[in-house]
Amino acid sequence: MNNLVLNSERLNNVLENKVISFQDVMEIYQQSLKDSTELFTTAQNLRKKYKKQTVTFSKKAFFNIVNLCKDTCSYCTYKAEPEEAKLSLMSKQQITELLQLAKKYKCVEALFVTGEQPEKKYPEAKKWLEENGFSSTSEYLIHASELALELGLFPHTNAGNLSYDEMKELKKTNVSMGVMLENISERLTEKGMPHYLAASKRPKKRLEVLENSGKLKIPMTTGILVGIGETIEEIIQSVFAIKQLHKKYGNIQEVILQNFQPKPDTIMKNSPSANEHFFKTVVALSRIIIPEMNIQIPPNLSPKSYQSFLSVGINDWGGISPLTPDFVNPEFVWPEISKVEENSKKAGFELKCRFPVYPEFFSFVSKELRDKISGIENEEGLVKEDYWR
C-alpha cells in the first residue's frame, strides 16, 4: 500500500499514517482544485486498506412515527403542520403492521424517525401520545423498539436531540442510534441562514448529544449536510469535530455525507444542490481525515452516479428500503437493492448486508441484543445471505 508515492508530501504522510492537521487538509483541498487525482487515489487506497472490496448496506423499513417538529429548517420537507396531508402520527397498530410487513420483506433494520420533541410545541402531538398511552415521544420510541425486537428487527432511532436519560433507556433496545451534526458552524444559525429557526441544530446542542452517546457507549451514526451555504473550512472543521469525538469515546460507527437537494416547498427551493465533483472532493477529504471510518453517501440522492463514489472513498450505502419511501427526501426513491448490487459489482465491489450496528461495535451492545444479532449473523459479523436475500 505504501509503495504508492505521490507528488504531494501531505498525502504521502496520510498514507504513512501520520497525523494531519486542519491546515494540511486545507492545503490538500487547494491543491485538488488544480487536480484532484492524487487526493482521490489516496482516498481509494485508504478505503481499500481498511474496508477491502466490500460495500455494505442496511436493509431497512423507515418508520415515520411523527413528523410534527418544534424546529423549522429552511431546507426541510420532512416536517408537517397539523393540517397537512403528509402529517404522520403512527398508532401502535400501524407500527405493528409495518413491522410485520418489514419482516415479510426480510428487512433487518427498523429505522424510527421523529420530529424534534413535537409535544413541546403541538397540542396535537400531546393528544396523540396520550391516546396511545404515553407522555413523551421517547417513551413511545422505547415501546416501538420493544415491538421491533420481538419481531426480530433491530431498532435504530433518529429522533433529534434526545437527553442523556432518554438515550440511556433507548440503548436497552436500540443496537445503534443517530443524530446528524450537519455542520459545526454557528454562522449557519444566524438570521437568514438555514438553521436560524432550529434551536436543536445549534452545534453545541448537537455536540452534547454526540458527547452523551459517547459516555453511554452507544454506537452512533452522525454526519454532515453538504451544500446548505457552508464554506469548505466549515465542512472540514465539522469532520474534524466528529474525528475528535470518536478519538475520545470510540463510538462513532459511521459518518454520512449527505448532499443537499433543494425541495420545491421550502425556503431554499432555489438553492442549487452540491456540485458533484465538489461533493466527491468532500468524500475523499473525509476519508483522509478519518481513514478507518465507515463513510456512506445515500445512493438515492445521487441516482445517476452513486457507484462512482466508491472510487473516492465510501464503503457503505446506508439504509435502503424495499418497502417504504425516504420520508426525508420523498422525491428521491430508493434504488432497487439488486440494482445497487449490480452497480457495485461493476465498480469492482461486493455488496453485503449489515446490521444497523457495524461488527466492530458489537462490544458496545448488551448481551441480550448481541444474542439476538448472533441468530442471523455470518462469520464476518454481517447478515447471513440467505436471511436478507
At 329-353, the pLDDT tens digits run 777 889 999 999 999 999 999 999 9
Q: Which amino acid is at 177?
A: M
Please give the angle made by the CA atoms of 368, 321 and 151, to the nearest 5 degrees. 30
Binning pLDDT at 50, 70 and 90, where does residue 84 land? Answer: confident
Q: pTM for the complete prediction?
A: 0.92
d(C-alpha 229, C-alpha 226), whole Å: 8
Whether pLDDT at 78 is above 80:
no
Q: What is the mean pLDDT of residues 237-260?
A: 96
Give the Cα separation of 359 and 364 in Å (integer).
10
Per-residue pLDDT tens digits for 10-22: 999 999 999 999 9
Give 43's Cβ-side CA count (13 Å radius). Answer: 27
pLDDT of residue 268: 60
Summarised one tens digit per residue, pLDDT across range 185-237 is 767 777 776 666 666 678 888 899 999 999 999 999 999 999 888 899 999 99
Question: Residue 205 and residue 200: Cα distance in Å, rounded?
Answer: 6
Residue with cell 438553492: 271
Q: Which residues contact 70 (CB under 8 A, 6 or more apart)?
A: 115, 116, 117, 118, 120, 121, 122, 199, 200
Radius of gyration of the chain (CA): 20
- What is the reported pLDDT for 117? 85
Q: What is the pLDDT of residue 269?
A: 61
Architecture per CATH, 47-388: Alpha-Beta Barrel (3.20)
pLDDT of residue 1: 47
- What local confidence, expressed as pLDDT, does residue 261 receive? 65
Lowest mean pLDDT segment, chosen from 37-51, 236-250, 265-279, 286-300: 265-279
SS3 label, residue 371: helix
Please indicate whether residue 168 or residue 85 has the higher confidence score (pLDDT): 168
Q: Is the pLDDT of residue 264 over 90?
A: no
Distance in Å from the first CA to the final CA of the chain: 34
Taking the domains of the chain in order of start, what are their residue ranges? 47-388
Q: For residue 62, is pLDDT > 60?
A: yes
Q: What pLDDT is stored for residue 279 in this prediction?
A: 94
The better pLDDT of the pair 374, 116 is held by: 374
How far apart CA 194 and CA 72 sit, in angstroms, is 9
Q: Whole-number mean pLDDT of the chain? A: 91
* Bridge partners of residue 220, in order along the sequence: 177, 252
Question: What whole-number percentage of the chain has pLDDT above 70?
Answer: 92
Digit-coded pLDDT (tens) for 270-279: 666 678 899 9
> What pLDDT band is residue 260 in, cutting at 50, 70 and 90?
confident
100-139 pLDDT, tens digit per residue, is 999 999 999 999 999 888 888 888 889 999 999 999 999 9
pLDDT at 23 over 50: yes
Q: Could you give the CA distance from residue 90 to residue 99 in angstroms, rounded to a whole number?
A: 12
Furthest C-alpha separation in the chain: 65
Angular region, 322: left φ>0, alpha ψ -120 to 50, beta rest: alpha
What pLDDT sits at residue 50? 96
Given the DSSP bridges, would you call strands 220-226 and 176-178 parallel, antiparallel or unpaired? parallel
Give yes or no for residue 58 having a pLDDT over 90: yes
Give how far the C-alpha of residue 314 lies from the chain's centroid of Cα atoms, to the nearest Å: 13
Lowest mean pLDDT among 173-182, 198-207, 215-224, 310-319: 198-207
- How far is residue 194's CA from residue 326's CA, in Å, rounded to a whole number? 21
